[in-house]
Amino acid sequence: MAEGNVMEKIVSLCKRRGFVYQASEIYGGINGFWDYGPLGSLLKNNIRDSWWRTMVEAPPIGPDGHPIDMVGVDTSIIQNPKTWVASGHAGTFADAMVDHSVSKKRYRADHLWVVFPSSPKRFGIAVEASTIAEAQQTFRDAEDAGRYAKIYKDAQRRFGFDPKAGRTYGWNQATKLVDFERSDIYPPNGAEPGSLTEPRPFNLMLKSQIGAVDPIDAYLRPETAQGIFLNFKNIMDTTRVKIPFGVAQIGKSFRNEVTPRNFIFRSREFEQMEMEFFCHPDESRKWYEFWKAERMRWWKSLGIKEENLKLRDHEQDELSHYSKMTVDIEYKYPFTAPDFGELEGIAHRGCFDLTQHQEHSGNRLDYFDQELQLKLKAEGKGEEEVKQKSRYIPNVIEPASGLTRAVLVLLCEGYAEDATRPSPVYMKFDPKMAPIKAGIFPLVNKEGMPEVAEKLYMDLRTKFMCEYDPKQSIGKRYARMDEIGTPYCVTIDGQTLTDQTVTIRERDTLKQERVSLDKVGGYLSERLGH
């Protein structure tokens, strides 16, 4: 099955079953914004709670064998505008964009790939895509649909190029638009070569205003991290943490993306799960490696197959302005396959942020390491060396992932097809992540079965997210539960009334077994990890 077709089916399922809706849909929607429906919000909250539990409530065991110090915060979406000057976002948080001078459509320059025949090499057609693989597929689809017929004809007239002769497309030479002269490039869906403008910066922050009289410009935060840095001193003064320690946060961020794309993968409003880990500069590389392994382990714990995840180090020319080194945890999305796309970034931010905010605010944001001071004195170090080494601005390691992107990953990972089942499409969520843990059904809506089923539901609802459903045939109820990823269905039938047992159906194997009515809670607890 074509990967693009899979993505279309996932999007359709999300709408049909209440995972994700287009925001403001009754007014025609708004590009780059999404609403999470009843099931989508449950799935998102399950991911959020797992991250918070793993990072804050029961943080990992560190290299020394002891639990890591970690606290959580919830900072404001709007900060003092000086924040974004100090952080560099006001001056550098921008994407290069180009406009098509005829249609006025805007594109991200790094998402336009020029595909060209092996000869002549200057002629090319730009396609909009995130990866070379996507560019290839986009170009092939457009060719199949005849979309480039006029371009082919013009190219043949101007360059003597026959697009069908040997199919000499230079896929292995596809290059981003920024590396090309534009005079002989045909834009996406356009027949006028040279009509794309030069790339120019486009700031991604969404602007707002504060105050009723003489309002000042402000910005919706493009990341949650800066709120943590601004509160570094407050956290040190009001808690008992000491270096090394982490500060975690989950919250909304906003980026005015030039071209939101691929469903909820890249949107203008999204939720982040970010943690800033403050450590001694000499130990920063050790903690960078630690968090790379730890974050990969967590993603696998959500039920994501190892072969669908990989680590990719950033090249020097793609590092953010604050980063010493960055690695991405990438996932093989249907729209990137066989390539991978970003899921989480783990950045070594050095001391950039605290240094910048110290300089711009005039407040000291360094750290006095008393334990290190005593250790250095015990080693006989000189007074000046002890003073210099025991007071420092911490380095920061930042694992940052998108909560809403994690929802997309679990939707992609869980999607499965089987024509022999009650529903040919079902979601294989890890039971811990499934929005609904169990469906409780009376086989028929009579003969005392609804009363027994309702009582069981009332007993289970305080322990698990359950649904009681007495309507339609049992096959249709199984089909619905499969489509929303419910791992277990409990059916009360005629035998229940005689021997107090029920049928429990397991989603993935379709296996059914009889379980004593009073053992259902324990059965589910054992399998759901409660």
Last residue of a domain, one of 392, 412, 432: 412
Of the given ranges (56-70, 139-153, 283-297), which has the lowest mean pLDDT?
139-153
User: Do residue 263 and residue 389 come from a single domain?
Assistant: yes
User: Do residue 197 and residue 255 come from a single domain?
Assistant: no
Bridge partners, 402 (sequence order): 272
For 469-516, the pLDDT digits (tens) are 999 999 999 999 999 999 999 999 999 999 999 999 999 999 999 999
Which residue has better confidence, 428 or 135? 428
Of the given ranges (129-143, 243-257, 267-281, 444-458), which has the lowest mean pLDDT?
129-143
User: Do residue 375 and residue 448 come from a single domain?
Assistant: no
Query: Closest Cα to residue 236, out of 278, 288, 281?
Result: 278
Which residue has better confidence, 198 or 83? 83
User: Do residue 50 and residue 169 come from a single domain?
Assistant: no
Rounded Cα distance between 379 and 383, Å, is: 11
Bridge partners, 415 (sequence order): 427
SS (H, E, C) 406-449: HHHHHHHHHEEECCCCCCCEEECCCCCCCCCCEEEEECCCCCCH
Contact 439, 467 (CB under 8 A): yes
- Write the CATH number for 502: 3.40.50.800
Highest mean pLDDT among 160-169, 206-215, 345-354, 378-387: 345-354
pLDDT at 182: 58
pLDDT at 291: 98
Question: Burial level of 521, CB count in 10 A (0-12/13-18/19+)?
Answer: middle
Tell whether the model's pLDDT for residue 435 goes beyond 80: yes
User: Do residue 154 and residue 175 come from a single domain?
Assistant: yes
Tell whether the model's pLDDT for residue 172 goes beyond 50: no
Bridge partners, 220 (sequence order): 78, 206
Place of tokens 């250095």: 376
For 519-529, the pLDDT digits (tens) are 999 999 999 98
Region 18-22: what's the mean pLDDT? 97
Tell whether the model's pLDDT for residue 378 goes beyond 70: yes
For 176-228, the pLDDT digits (tens) are 565 555 566 777 766 577 778 877 777 788 999 999 888 999 999 999 999 99
Of the given ranges (18-22, 132-136, 304-308, 514-518), which has the lowest mean pLDDT?
132-136
Confidence tier at 166 by pLDDT (50, 70, 90):
very low
Region 375-388: what's the mean pLDDT? 89
pLDDT at 475: 94
Tell whether the model's pLDDT for residue 127 goes beyond 80: no
Last residue of a domain, one of 367, 389, 412: 412
pLDDT at 237: 95
Domain range spanning residue 444? Answer: 418-528
User: Do residue 428 and residue 401 come from a single domain?
Assistant: no
User: Do residue 78 and residue 100 come from a single domain?
Assistant: no
pLDDT at 75: 98
Region 319-326: what's the mean pLDDT? 81
User: Do residue 231 and residue 334 come from a single domain?
Assistant: yes
- Write the CATH number for 43: 3.30.930.10
For 29-58, the pLDDT digits (tens) are 999 999 999 999 999 999 999 999 999 999
Which residue has better confidence, 372 or 117? 372
pLDDT at 150: 55
User: Do residue 403 and residue 321 come from a single domain?
Assistant: yes
List the structure tokens of 381: 């170090």
pLDDT at 1: 46
Contact 254, 84 (CB under 8 A): no
Tell whether the model's pLDDT for residue 167 goes beyond 50: no
User: Do residue 296 and residue 223 come from a single domain?
Assistant: yes
User: Do residue 288 and residue 357 come from a single domain?
Assistant: yes
Number of independent structural domains in the chain = 3
Last residue of a domain, one of 412, 427, 451: 412
User: Do residue 82 and residue 122 come from a single domain?
Assistant: no
